[in-house]
Chain A
C-alpha cells in the first residue's frame, strides 16, 4: 500500500493578477512533500470548488489581494460544502484587514495569513489540521 499524500489546491479567486505569493506558497508546500494542484489566476468560486472536487483535495489555499475576500471566500466554502466536501480545510492568504478575520473564520476559514508569514508555519498548520481530523 502506498502512502497517502496531502493534496492541496492553490487558487486565486477573482480579478487580481498578482500570483507571486500563490506561487511561493505552492513551491513551499511542494518542498514539504505535499501534492499541490495549482490552478492559476482569475478563478470563480465555482471553478475552484469543481477543481477541488475533481482532485479530491484535503485543503484549499486561496490567495487574495484584491480586497474581495469578504465576498469570495464564503462563496468558495459554500460551493465546497454543496459538493459534499465537508472536511476540506480552507486557508487564506493575502492582504486581509484584521477587522475582517473574525467574520472569515466564522465562515469556515481555518487560518488567515498576512504578508511576511513564514512558509514553515503554513506547512505546520496544514499538517496539524489534517492530522487532527
Chain B
C-alpha cells in the first residue's frame, strides 16, 4: 500500500521526512508500515558511528567531519543522528548536540536529528537503526551516528555502522585502559581529539601499541548465526589480508586540524570493506542483529499473550519461595 508521507519523504520533502522520523520513533502503525515500504530503497548509505567518552568532542568532530565530507566532488548528502541520554527519573532528555553543530546547520543537504535513548543502554536508542534506514532510503549518502557519551561497553553502534570511530582525548587513562576489552576494540578508526593538549603523544602511543598487539580488527562474530551461503563462505575464508588495522589519528576538531585525514581514512575504510567482500558480510550481520532482536521481542510478546496467567503466577511463586531455581522456572515457563 503506497503512503503519501513515505513517497514525499523519499522525494526530498523535509517536512514529510521529519514527520516520518517521528512516526518511526513512536512506533505508530504508520511508522511501522513505513519501514516496510522503504526497505527496498535502502542499502546505499555509508553508516559511520562516532563514539567516545562524554566531553571528548564527538559533536564538534561530527560537525567538522560533515563540512569536510560535503567538499567531496560528488557533494554527498549527509544525515546526522545525535543521541543523548534520557533521564531515568523524569523520562525527559536534554538534547544538546546541535549546539556544537551550528556551522553545518545552514546547509540544505545536511539533516541533523537529535534522539533520546528512551531507556536503551547500549549507547543508542532502540529506534536509531530504523532512523538510519529512513535516511538511507531518502537518499542520504552518509549517515553519521553519534552515540551518547560512552564508557566502556556501550557498543551497540558496532552492529549498525560500517565504520566505527572511537574518540579519545589526551590523558584519558594509562596503558591498562587501552588493553581492556570493549569500546576501543570496536574501533575502525581511533581518534585522539583535543590533540593540542599535553599528553597527546602518550595517548597515541598507548592506542598504537594496542592496535599493533592485535592482529587487526575482527568482525563481531561471537554469536552463532545462520548466514546466507555466500557470506558463510566469505566468513570461512577470511585471511590476513581481510584484517583492517585501525589507524590512530590526531585531531583538533575546533580548529579543523586533522579532519581532512580523518575523512580520507573513512573513505579508505569504506573502499576496503567493499574491496574485500566485507561490506556485504557486515550488512548481513547487522540484519541478523535486527532480526534476532525483533524476533526475540515478538516471540516473547506472543508467548506472553498465549501463556496461561494462572500457571505463570504459580511458577513465579514457586521461584520466589525457592522451591525451584530460575533455570527450572524458565523450563516450566517455556512449556506453558
Contacts and interface: CB of A to CB of B under 8 A. Distances in A.
Interface of A: 1-5, 26-27, 29-40, 43, 46-47, 50-51, 53-56, 83-85
A58 to B, nearest CB: 10
A54 B14 contact: yes
B114 A33 contact: no
Q: Which of B22, B98, B113, B118 has the largest number of chain A CB atoms within 10 A?
A: B98
27 contacts: A2-B26, A4-B26, A5-B92, A5-B116, A29-B92, A30-B90, A31-B92, A33-B90, A35-B114, A36-B94, A37-B114, A38-B96, A38-B98, A38-B99, A39-B99, A39-B102, A40-B98, A40-B102, A47-B102, A50-B106, A53-B14, A53-B18, A54-B18, A54-B113, A55-B113, A56-B18, A85-B15
A26 B102 CA distance: 19
A84 B28 CA distance: 22
Nearest to B80: A54
A55 B105 CA distance: 12
A27 B102 contact: no
Contact of B18 (A39, A43, A55): A55
A125 to B, nearest CB: 16
A2 B27 contact: yes
Main secondary structure of the interface of A (DSSP, over half): mixed
Contacts of A34: 92
Contacts of A2: 25-27, 118
A83 B27 contact: no
Interface string B153-190: 00000000000000000000000000000000000000
A25 B90 CA distance: 15
Contact of B26 (A1, A39, A51, A84): A1
A33 B92 contact: yes
B92 A55 contact: no
Interface string B1-35: 00000000000001100110110011111000000
B140 interface: no
B27 A30 contact: no
A1 B27 contact: yes
Nearest to B98: A39
B111 interface: yes
A54 B92 contact: no
Interface of B: 14-15, 18-19, 21-22, 25-29, 86-87, 89-96, 98-99, 102, 105-106, 111-114, 116, 118
A47 B285 CA distance: 39
Nearest to B105: A47
Please give me the 9 A-B residue pairs with the lowest Cβ-Cβ distance, nearest first.
Answer: A40-B99, A30-B92, A56-B18, A84-B15, A33-B91, A33-B92, A56-B22, A37-B95, A38-B96
Contacts of B25: 2
Given A39-B98, A47-B106, A3 B15 contact: no
Nearest to A39: B98
Contacts of B14: 53-54, 83
Nearest to A29: B92
Contacts of B19: 56
A73 B250 CA distance: 42
A31 B102 contact: no
A31 B91 CA distance: 8
Given A5-B116, A31-B87, A39-B99, 11 more contacts: A1-B26, A4-B26, A26-B94, A27-B94, A30-B90, A35-B114, A36-B93, A46-B106, A51-B98, A55-B113, A84-B15
